[in-house]
């Protein structure tokens, strides 16, 4: 009930505060027999890790993951897999002041009212640090989906502030600090981000995630639609304010004759649907796009109040990402993987034994 | 698992096919003692009903709801409330041909591959007719939220095709066929819709839903965030392709100094957050916007295939909405109500007895 | 949350009051393609039906089931199956008095305190009439389990009051009014039941349910153990006060050398485990036994109180079963079927693709 | 789905293998503001700890619990509470042989068939060691229930093998190694257990758990009945083979005039119901009894098979409890606490604001 578990059949139960002893998660429902190692998971964690460039937070966490259970002799056993990341870089300081005030754009105010108590150290549970465990859990999901179905899940930034980033190639995405799919735009982005930092401000971003080779037939038809579960997953990422599937908001001004993807013996002729029709995957690429708000913690003075309701002025100094959206790419990939594996298992449960007289339609046109 | 139940504590289990004997739902978890009648529910259903103007489908369903259980002497008893709507206007015809083909933009193709079998009569379970039961269930949720917390949930269209519709006043929304909050734009919309119909085409739409008077503190902090559950709910509406909370996609190009809502002793100074911070309600208005794709069923010839994979050309004649988005307004309101009541009950379960030393901040500035 | 839905993957949502317009259920998660008809379901319902002998309630309900959704051309489509049973024999009378008092041994008192309101007509939702919908839902589960795995689920009475009923043969169970597996004891039971009725009293009963041909490997290892889910299911039947698996309470005084079932190349040498080890099926028969309390509604005067707390004396006249346990047999079979199909689907979800190097052990010795 | 999470609103997600790095659990949904410390939890753990007398396993685990999250400045924050117990006394040895065989009465055989792989070290996940985390989680539930409602949950052994143990007083239960409520029987039990150990055998047991001061109105009426959830919880404890509520199996031969508890202005006149009517608490003591099978690991030679199906003879030496039932008492208390807190929260969610015109009946007679 309390919003720390995601999934129905493949579940991730997240725990831990930013500056407590540890963060981690319990991954349950993973099929047995999957080869998985701490290294497999670490690889994904390192893509999200802070301190990798001057454009992200300089907090230095090794984010070293330990597997506490569920893996024996290198393979999953079908029992819960526990992943633990000890917190190591909590700068000790007096949080007394922070505990008594509410940072604008932060969850301080809402946590306080919800629970009547909150752990203010480093944002506590609302810190983006918590998302590391989703990336770790997602690494397991990604591996299984790839081994069993050949599914590939990848993301890239499409816009930072007002700088749009064209898609050129997946090959360069992981070799620049912006998850940009076009290297030509990197110098502009670097200059832009430097200027944002200098102005003690932050910016929003937009990113896109794609899943290839998803079989036709995953997702439920009324609630728990595949697109609904994806929207849910993405909106569960800190700072996400909008989600689109396929044509998204562009479909508002489209005509039906333009939007509806025609079918041909060679496959669909377009993919405005984003790979999902009636809540169920079509076999085409799953296409997701999302908007991420600018970082709330900025060093400019901002009006706020304290717990007694008195007006104050806050400047949030510290090691904050000037654009939280950048490091969201591996998180969004992980979340998509978690949704897909859950629906893979659901499909297997209900429809696993149906023999379909499959029409000879390739799922997608290349 | 199979995607016909929504909610954790206040659940709606939807059932029925468009042209089967009936559609309906079981609403479980409703607090006892709420006064509710078939008339209360019918009122909401009538707002979504087909045949109310020339701009929506001419199918004539009375959509008369019957309460089968859970209400005694006009009050809910705490036991499951069953709402039944008999189908009456299924034109009998030969569906043999439709059963053998896949309409572009429809769920025919994905249902077939998922289940290996499908009920093709009038779209079966994928028909928008199913959404009537959500409106019915939402009427109960709306009433309880209003009686207990004074919550008001309202929606209106903000764009149809390329015609933007400004917000002038809630008062006129229910007195024009477009749920437009500005009567001045109605003639333009009528002419526009007539032209769309004449061109045998359809258009997309955008709409906005607002919940006022939601208390601070509802929603969960990691998964099941209030915004994530709203995104999930809206994306579960047929044809929705994008969802925004507060500033939404506009936040991509915003600065942190602009986006982050400052707090003052008189309340928040703005509402870019859309009433939700860290997944939890702030006490400000919940602001949701969504994109709806153009109706897939159009009378223009479209390329498709049959079950054997042979190319065919389809023209979908019949009584279809030229803009499915129009009738989505009451559905979106209902879905928002269903999310809110679920979180109201969750909050009461976990935090019901916490005495908060509430700061003297009004939830919102009027 | 509110206890009207059972199951995780194969769910049954029950609704309806004894003397309201109808009772029924929504069955969700059923694999598509199963041939099912109203007759298949009716057959099971008729086994539980009142009025079949003088030893059960004389209330005459046809209990005619209508399939409202989820079945097309005689086969399940994978969408929710709704089963409706209209109530027809509610004798109209003044319930005013009953509404103001609490019958001993009944749920009147607890419903009143839980909800602050209750539907007193014929026991409302707490009436055993509600169990008819479980039998209906169980009929679908039974059929699928049998067609796909050859599973056979059968029950019989093992004791009524102090009359023990030996097991002779399954063949006679359905041809006597007591679900006795030994015809020789039927005359004694008839005389016994007649004497109970004459003394205006009621008696308890014990029954046994067995599932044959359940594959090895179903059930979860920590929570949701197969035996735990069975105990849950059986204790959810009105009036059940105890549940045993395999040796049950006899295992208290057993030695380990006696209880632990040895394995041989030909199979297990005994079945004290009742077909379940560590929460997971062994491939042997699932063996369940349960205790059912005597009917609470008896015509003898009993002390009670009214809503104001004043002492009263109640005699409950009417058409009540002198031993509610008798008609519990088909209900217990249905509940076992519902547990098994849920675990069948769970197993398929998580472990469906594991290739086990199966040792050559037959699951059971015949 | 995979059976490692229990509860709907107050959830416990258990993880860890007996001889892996650690066992532990995530407790979610705990109301904020509860004072809880590692010491509070340790106290309960020590009651279940191995090595406390010669009658239980001599394995020496400190079972020291660490709180990893969810508690700040000594109080729960409403976020997930993670409890970790590192494993320290895993004797390193070659498990190769054990991995290739199936111990009679153990889950080896079923795990192998379910998952196709298993962690054989010390029983892996099926080890009774896992139950330590339930006791830890239960300590939190117990404390909240006591602080908020004054609920007291206690258990004691009622039979070991064929030695029945009368109830004399709660005061002595924790001061003898058998959780016996009568000190006079302790010498007989000691002699009996010594003889069992000498004969290289084991015995079953029966225990009783009672919850006092549970408010009237908890539990659901159809599924998720309070008694059904208790039966589920108890049957989820390793080795439990039977569960009774109130009169239990004795009700089989009771008359209705004897079993049905009469109500008087001073309260119920008896408690055959065990504190639950129609699935809902009556306000009387919740009375639960359960049967526990004899330990499967015994040093006598037993027939079994290896993975290839060849016959073998096994003697299980090691540090095993000759009666696993003894240490089950704190586990059963914990499980009852976990069921009750979940229903406390459910009740608050659905019925929290109903004002009942309560009749003046004390819940119980003293």
Which residues, other chains included, contact B309 with Cβ-Cβ below 8 Å and sequence gap of 6+? A265, A359, A360, A361
D17: phi > 0 → left, psi -120 to 50 → alpha, else beta; which?
A: beta
Q: Which of A30-39, B63-72, C98-107 has the lowest mean pLDDT?
A: C98-107
The larger pLDDT score, comparing residue A60 to residue D346, is at D346
Among the ranges given (A233-237, B322-326, C141-145, D355-359), the one the predictor scored with the smallest mean pLDDT: D355-359
Q: What is the mean pLDDT of chain A?
A: 91
CA distance C65 to chain B (A): 14
DSSP sequence for B147-158: HHH--EEEEEEE
The answer, yes or no, to whether residue D94 has pLDDT greater than 60, is: no
Give yes or no for residue D49 having a pLDDT over 90: no
Tell me whether residue D307 is annotated as binding. no
pLDDT at position C366 is 36
Tell whether the model's pLDDT for residue A366 goes beyond 90: no
**Dihedral sign (CA B348, B351, B356, B360):** negative
Confidence band (pLDDT; 50, 70, 90) for A250?
A: very high
DSSP B37-81: -HHHHHHHHHHH-TTSSTTS--------EEEEESEETTEE-SSPE
DSSP three-state, residue A262: coil
Chains B, C: CB pairs < 8 Å: 155
Q: Are strands B302-305 and B286-292 parallel, antiparallel or unpaired?
A: unpaired
Over range D190-213, report the average pLDDT: 96
Q: Mean pLDDT throughout D210-239?
A: 97
- Among A106, A276, A306, the residue with its CB nearest the CB of B277 is A106
Confidence (pLDDT) at B135: 97
What does the pLDDT average to over C22-46?
A: 96
HSE-CB at B363 with a 13 A cutoff on CA atoms is 20
Q: What pLDDT, on the 0 to 100 scale, is given for residue D363?
A: 43
* Token reading at B176: 């024009």
- The answer to whether B80 contacts C4, with C-beta atoms less than 8 Å apart, is yes
Q: What's the helix, strand, coil split of chain A in %, to 5?
A: 30, 25, 45
Q: How far apart, in Å, are the Cα atoms of B236 and each of A141, A229, B32, B126, D318? A: 24, 9, 28, 11, 56
Rg (CA), chain C: 21
Q: What is the pLDDT of residue C90?
A: 59
How far is the C-alpha of D21 from the C-alpha of B180, rounded, in Å? 62
Q: What is the mean pLDDT of chain B?
A: 91
Interface touch B28/C16, C-beta < 8 Å: no
* Over residues A96-105, mean pLDDT: 81
What residue of B is the nearest CA neighbor of D356? B33
Question: Looking at residue C144, what is its pLDDT?
Answer: 97
Inform me whether the pLDDT recorded for B91 exceeds 60: no
Secondary structure of residue B12 in the 3-state scheme: strand
The answer to whether B221 contacts A3, with C-beta atoms less than 8 Å apart, is: yes
Distance CA B276, CA A107 (A): 9
Most distant pair of Cα atoms in chain D: their distance: 69
Neighbours of C306 (CB within 10 A): 16
Q: Choose the weakest-confidence range: B184-188, B339-343, D111-115, D211-215.
A: D111-115
Mean pLDDT over residues D45-54, rounded? 81
Q: Distance between CA atoms of A168 and A149, rounded to whole angstroms?
A: 26
Residue B98: pLDDT over 80: no
**Cβ-proximal residues to D9 (8 Å cutoff; 6+ apart), any chain:** A1, A2, B346, B349, B350, C1, D29, D342, D345, D346, D349
The upper half-sphere exposure of residue C109, i.e. CA atoms within 13 Å in the direction of its Cβ, equals 33
Residue D269 structure tokens? 């006149």
Of B3, B9, B203, the CB nearest to A221: B3
Mean pLDDT on A15-25:
94
Q: Which residues of C are part of a known binding site for NADP(+)?
A: 48, 54
Q: How far is B132 from chain C, CA to nearest CA, in Å? A: 16
pLDDT at B89: 63
CB distance D147 to D139 below 8 Å: no
Q: Can you tell me the mean pLDDT for D103-131?
A: 89
Q: Do B111 and A278 touch (CB under 8 A)?
A: yes
- Whether C60 has a pLDDT exceeding 80, the answer reads no
Report all structural domains of chain D as residue ranges with CATH numbers, in order of start. Answer: 5-351 (3.60.150.10)
- Give the whole-angstrom CA distance, residue C281 versus residue C264: 17
Q: Average pLDDT in the D3-25 region?
A: 96
pLDDT surpasses 70 at C362 = no
Flag whether pLDDT at B361 surpasses 60: no
- Mean pLDDT over A64-75 rounds to 96
Give pLDDT tens digits for B37-51: 999 999 999 988 776
Contact state of A4 with D118 under an 8 Å Cβ cutoff = no
Percent of chain A with pLDDT over 90: 78
pLDDT band per the 50, 70, 90 thresholds, residue A119: confident
Q: In what order do the strands lie in the sheet with C22-28?
A: C5-6, C11-16, C22-28, C81-86, C65-69
Mean pLDDT for the stretch of residues A154-174? 97
* Confidence check: pLDDT of C233 > 90: yes
Question: Mutation test of the interface with chain D: which of A12, A26, A120, A350, choosing the one with the most D Cβ atoms within 10 A?
Answer: A26
Least confident of A241-250, B301-310, B337-346, C160-169: B301-310
D4 and A79 in contact by Cβ < 8 A? yes
Q: Region B197-218: what's the mean pLDDT?
A: 96
What number is the average pLDDT over the span A69-81?
96
Contact call for residues B43 and B57 (beta carbons, < 8 A): no
| pLDDT surpassing 50 at residue C111 | yes
Q: What is the pLDDT of residue D89?
A: 63
Single pTM value for the model: 0.96
With 0-12 / 13-18 / 19 or more C-beta atoms within 10 angstroms meaning exposed / middle / buried, residue A240 is buried
SS3 sequence of chain C? CCCCEECCCCEEEEEECCCCCEEEEEEECCCCCCECCHHHHHHHHHHHCCCCCCCCCCCCCCCCEEEEECEECCEECCCCEEEEEECCCCCCCCCHHHHCECCCCCCHHHHHHHHCCCCCHHHHHHCHHHHHHHHHHHHHHHHHHHHHHCCEEEEEEEEECCEECCCCCHHHHHHCCCCECCHHHHHHHHHHHHHHHHCCCCECEEEEEEEECCCCCCCCCCCCCHHHHHHHHHHCCCCEEEEEECCHHHHHHCEHHHHCCCEECCEECCCCCCCEECCEECCCCEEEEEEECCCCCCCCCEEEEECCCCEEEECCCCCCCCCCCCCHHHHHHHHHHHHHHHHHHHHHHHHCCCCCCCCCCCCCCC
Q: Are A147 and A136 in contact (CB under 8 A)?
A: no
What is the model's pLDDT at position A315? 85
> pLDDT tens for residues B215-272?
999 999 999 999 999 999 999 999 999 999 999 999 999 999 999 999 999 999 999 9
Task: Confirm if B342 and B27 have CB atoms less than 8 A apart.
Answer: no
| pLDDT 10s digits, D69-79 | 999 999 999 99
Q: Residues D168-196: what's their mean pLDDT?
A: 96
Q: Inter-chain contact D79–B32, Cβ cutoff 8 Å? A: no
The residue of chain B nearest to residue D29, with distances taken between CA atoms, is B350
> So what's the pLDDT on residue A21?
94
Joined together, the tokens standing for residue C328 give: 């519990």
A122 CB neighbour count, 10 Å cutoff: 21
Whether C354 has a pLDDT exceeding 60, the answer reads no
The per-residue pLDDT for D95 is 57
Share of chain C above pLDDT 70, in %: 92
CB atoms within 10 A of CB D285: 19
**Beta-carbon separation of D348 and B348 below 8 A:** yes
**Where does residue C95 rank: exposed (0-12), middle (13-18), buried (19+ CB within 10 A)?**
middle
Q: Find out whether D114 and A33 touch, Cβ atoms under 8 Å.
A: no
Q: Tell me the per-residue pLDDT of C251-283, one tens digit each, with 9 for 90 and over.
A: 999 999 999 999 999 999 999 999 999 999 999
Candidates A2, A68, A115; nearest CB to D21:
A68
Lowest-pLDDT range, A115-119, B19-23, B254-258, B358-362?
B358-362
- State how far residue C346 is from chain A, nearest Cα, in angstroms: 6
Partner residue opposite B1 with nearest CB, options C29, C121, C124: C29
E strand or H helix at A7, and its extent?
none
Mean pLDDT in residue range A331-355: 90
Is residue D324 a contact partner of residue D238, using CB atoms and an 8 Å limit?
yes
Task: Report ipTM (2 d.p.).
Answer: 0.95
Q: Residues A206-246: pLDDT tens digits?
A: 999 999 999 999 999 999 999 999 999 999 999 999 999 99
Q: Which residue on chain A is closest to B159 by alpha carbon?
A: A252
Least confident of A159-173, C109-123, D89-103, D177-191: D89-103
CA-based nearest residue in chain C for residue B27: C15
Residues of chain C in contact with residue B17, where contact means CB-CB under 8 angstroms, are 69-70, 72, 79
Q: Residues in chain B whose beta carbon is closer than 8 A to a beta carbon of chain D?
A: 8-9, 29-33, 78-79, 148, 221, 345-346, 348-354
Tell me whether residues A4 and D15 touch, CB distance under 8 A: no
What pLDDT was estimated at residue A28?
A: 98
Q: How far is A340 from chain C (nearest CA, A)?
A: 13
Q: How far is CA B69 from CA B81, C1, C64, C76, C172, in A?
A: 5, 18, 18, 26, 39
Q: Which chains touch D (3 or more CB pairs under 8 A)?
A: A, B, C
Q: pLDDT tens across A120-144, in order?
A: 887 789 888 999 999 999 999 999 9
Section C335-344 average pLDDT: 98
Answer whether residue C83 shows pLDDT above 80: yes
Whether residues A291 and B202 touch (CB distance < 8 A) is answered with no
The more confident residue out of A235 and D57 is A235
Dmax (CA) of chain C: 69
Task: Report the pLDDT value the prediction gives residue C85, as an integer from 0 to 100.
Answer: 96
Per-residue pLDDT, D90: 59
pLDDT at position B216: 94
List helix spans (H) across A49-185: 96-99, 108-115, 131-149
């Amino acid at each position: 009930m309390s919003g720390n578990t995601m999934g129905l059949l493949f579940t991730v139960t997240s725990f831990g505060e930013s500056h407590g002893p540890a963060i981690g998660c319990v991954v349950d429902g993973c099929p047995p027999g999957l080869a998985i190692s701490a290294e497999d998971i670490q690889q994904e964690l390192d893509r999200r890790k802070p301190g990798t460039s001057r454009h992200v937070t300089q907090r230095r966490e090794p984010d070293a993951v330990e597997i506490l259970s569920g893996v024996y002799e290198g393979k999953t056993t079908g029992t819960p897999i526990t992943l633990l990341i000890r917190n190591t870089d909590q700068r000790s300081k007096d949080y007394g002041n922070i505990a008594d005030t509410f940072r604008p754009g932060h969850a301080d105010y809402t946590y306080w009212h919800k629970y009547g108590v909150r752990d203010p150290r480093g944002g506590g549970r609302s810190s983006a640090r918590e998302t590391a465990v989703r990336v770790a859990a997602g690494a397991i999901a990604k591996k299984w989906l790839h081994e069993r179905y050949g599914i590939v899940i990848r993301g890239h930034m499409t816009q930072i502030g007002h700088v749009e980033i064209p898609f050129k190639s997946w090959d360069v995405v992981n070799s620049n600090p912006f998850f940009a799919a076009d290297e030509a735009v990197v110098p502009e982005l670097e200059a832009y981000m430097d200027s944002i930092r200098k102005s003690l401000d932050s910016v929003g971003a937009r990113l896109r995630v794609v899943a290839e080779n998803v079989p036709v037939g995953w997702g439920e038809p009324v609630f728990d639609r595949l697109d609904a579960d994806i929207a849910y997953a993405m909106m569960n990422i800190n700072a996400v304010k909008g989600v689109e599937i396929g044509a998204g908001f562009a479909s508002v001004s489209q005509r039906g004759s333009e939007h509806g993807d025609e079918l041909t013996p060679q496959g669909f002729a377009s993919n405005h649907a984003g790979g999902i029709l009636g809540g169920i995957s079509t076999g085409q690429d799953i296409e997701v796009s999302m908007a991420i708000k600018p970082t709330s913690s900025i060093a400019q003075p901002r009006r706020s109040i304290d717990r007694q309701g008195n007006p104050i002025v806050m400047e949030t100094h510290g090691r904050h990402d000037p654009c939280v959206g950048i490091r969201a790419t591996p998180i969004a990939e992980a979340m998509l993987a978690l949704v897909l594996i859950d629906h893979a298992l659901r499909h297997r449960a209900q429809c696993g034994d149906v023999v379909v007289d499959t029409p000879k339609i390739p799922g997608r046109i290349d």
